[in-house]
Amino acid sequence: MTNPILPGATLGVLGSGQLGRMFAIAARRLGYRVHVYSPDVSTPAGQVSDREFSAAYNDLEQLAEFARSVDVVTFEFENVPAAATDCIQKYCPVHPSKDVLSVAQNRIREKLTLRDAGLAVPRFCEVTTAEELRAAVLELGVPSVVKTASSGYDGKGQAVLHNVGQVEEIWAELATNQAILEQFVDFDCELSVVGARNSRGEIVHYGPFLNTHTDHILDVTICPSGLATDVDARAIDVAHQVFDCLDVVGVLCVELFVTKDGQILINEIAPRPHNSGHLTIDAHNTCQFEQQVRAICGLPLGDTTQHTNAAMANILGDVWNDVDPNWSALLATDVKLHLYGKVEARPGRKMGHITAFGNSINDADRAVREARDSLLNK
């Protein structure tokens, strides 16, 4: 076991969006310095960090300088080139490992790794041409979902196939030479389990969180899930198996489908804090971002006790609608507001989130939706 990285040290983050921002806030509260690295400037994470490196992910000279300036490096998004992590780990530890990132970066590797570990995933086929896609559709049936193997998120890089006649058009639109066709899952609900694991193999978890999506973007998360105890327990067990299978050090989210006949299937994984875990900032003793700090630094993992029913709703750029949202109306309600410091509001862009509480999860769910609606009362 290596010595822990104690407060006063400097933590590095690859990526500089809202997840990096909330990580930096948690780290600085614990007494760490934070350096972030991305190709952008004046970023959400850079605004609250001690130093912002602005360079390409293939700039090995700048990556080396970044790595020499910190004591450990983590990620706020998974699509970092392998060469970047290879460069950085010459100078300092990187958590999660390059191997974990490699699995999460490619949907085919992800599904194969999980399936080979004995974990339940939707049926799938690897496809590299329109002809292979057509054959896969005939095998899996319709509807089915085709996704690019890499770089897809929030519904980007994927499409639903309802008949074989759509194959050529959709393949041309995806503009890829590697994709995965997945069986369409007629799910009852979507869950996520966020947890943290340290180098000693100790795991703590939250949730499961119950998630609803709009246009493939997470809309509202509630916790507790309100589902049967055995469903929650099975979801948590699956997440623990994923942590151990990948030997994760850090935070990871396992996104799950619960089918109408009660099966639990893994949809995908994210080796970092997750949008659905944002409510842990206000509703739990230790939030997911502090857990990320603790896990990568070799500190004891924090208590994940939830102290109130909570619901989180994303605030997208759509609510600006040419004028600023009605912040006064929102802040007149009993919610917690988190804005990410993004200058430009665009439709579908995550600009912030709000968390609400209630005597029941239904009360919290209703409160967070009503509060968000108040932003439109111009």
Q: Can you give the pLDDT at residue 154?
A: 60
Contacts of 235 (CB under 8 A, 6+ apart): 191, 193, 207, 208, 256, 258, 264
Domain encompassing residue 53: 10-94
Q: Is the bond into 143 cis (omega within 30 degrees of 0)?
A: yes
DSSP class of residue 185 equals P
Q: Can you give the pLDDT at residue 377?
A: 79
CB 162 within 8 A of CB 142: yes
The domain boundary residue, chosen from 142, 160, 183: 183
Q: Are residues 154 and 199 in the same domain?
A: no
Which two three-digit tokens encode residue 205?
A: 């978890």
DSSP class of residue 153 equals -
Residue 21 CA to residue 299 CA, distance in Å, equals 21
Query: Which residues are paired to 73 by β-bridges?
Result: 12, 94
Reported as a single tens digit per residue, the pLDDT across 209-220 is: 999 999 989 999
Total count of domains within the chain: 3
Q: Are residues 252 and 147 in the same domain?
A: no
Q: Can you give the pLDDT at residue 254?
A: 98
Max CA separation in the chain (angstroms): 60
CATH value at residue 68? 3.40.50.20
Residue 323 CA to residue 328 CA, distance in Å, equals 14
Element (H, E) at 52: strand 51-54
CATH value at residue 294? 3.30.470.20
Q: Are residues 299 and 238 in the same domain?
A: yes
Reported as a single tens digit per residue, the pLDDT across 2-14 is: 799 999 999 999 9
Which two three-digit tokens encode residue 138?
A: 């005939």
Give the three-state DSSP class for 22: helix
Q: Are residues 164 and 69 in the same domain?
A: no
Query: Which residues are paired to 221 by β-bridges?
Result: 211, 312
Is 157 within the bounds of a domain? yes
Is 80 within the bounds of a domain? yes
CB 117 within 8 A of CB 103: no
Q: Are residues 323 and 350 in the same domain?
A: yes
Q: Are residues 210 and 305 in the same domain?
A: yes
Q: Are residues 127 and 244 in the same domain?
A: no
Q: What is the mean pLDDT of residues 321-330?
A: 91
Share the mean pLDDT of the chain. 95
Q: Are residues 156 and 171 in the same domain?
A: yes
Q: Can you give the pLDDT at residue 190?
A: 98
Q: Can you give the pLDDT at residue 170?
A: 94
Is 235 within the bounds of a domain? yes
Chain position carrying tokens 């076991």: 1
Q: Are residues 302 and 317 in the same domain?
A: yes
Chain position carrying tokens 């609608």: 321
Give the three-state DSSP class for 234: helix
Residue 218 CA to residue 239 CA, distance in Å, equals 20
CB 337 within 8 A of CB 260: no
The domain boundary residue, chosen from 183, 198, 223: 183
- Find the angle CA(294)-CA(230)-CA(280) to the nearest 5 degrees: 30
Residue 85 CA to residue 74 CA, distance in Å, equals 10
Is 115 within the bounds of a domain? no
Long-range contacts: 348-351, Cβ < 8 Å, 24+? Answer: 348/154, 348/215, 348/217, 348/316, 348/317, 348/318, 349/316, 349/317, 350/18, 350/217, 350/275, 350/314, 350/315, 350/316, 351/315, 351/316, 351/317, 351/319, 351/320
Q: Are residues 231 and 365 in the same domain?
A: yes
CATH value at residue 148? 3.30.1490.20
Residue 295, amino acid:
A
Give the three-state DSSP class for 201: coil
Give the three-state DSSP class for 270: strand
Residue length, the chain? Answer: 378
For residue 176, is pLDDT > 60?
yes
Give the percent of the chain with pLDDT over 70: 98
Q: Can you give the pLDDT at residue 321?
A: 80
Is 109 within the bounds of a domain? no
Give the three-state DSSP class for 1: coil
Is 148 within the bounds of a domain? yes
Please name which of 267, 297, 284 lies closest in space to residue 206, comparing C-alpha atoms. Answer: 284
- Find the angle CA(345)-CA(253)-CA(50) to the nearest 5 degrees: 55
CB 30 within 8 A of CB 7: yes
Q: Are residues 129 and 175 in the same domain?
A: yes
Which two three-digit tokens encode residue 252?
A: 């990871």
Residue 318 CA to residue 156 CA, distance in Å, equals 17
Reported as a single tens digit per residue, the pLDDT across 121-173 is: 999 999 999 999 999 999 999 999 999 998 766 667 889 999 999 999 999 99
Please name which of 193, 201, 300 lies closest in space to residue 248, comparing C-alpha atoms. Answer: 201
The domain boundary residue, chosen from 94, 110, 131: 94
Q: What is the mean pLDDT of residues 271-295?
A: 98
Q: Are residues 246 and 329 in the same domain?
A: yes
Is 284 within the bounds of a domain? yes
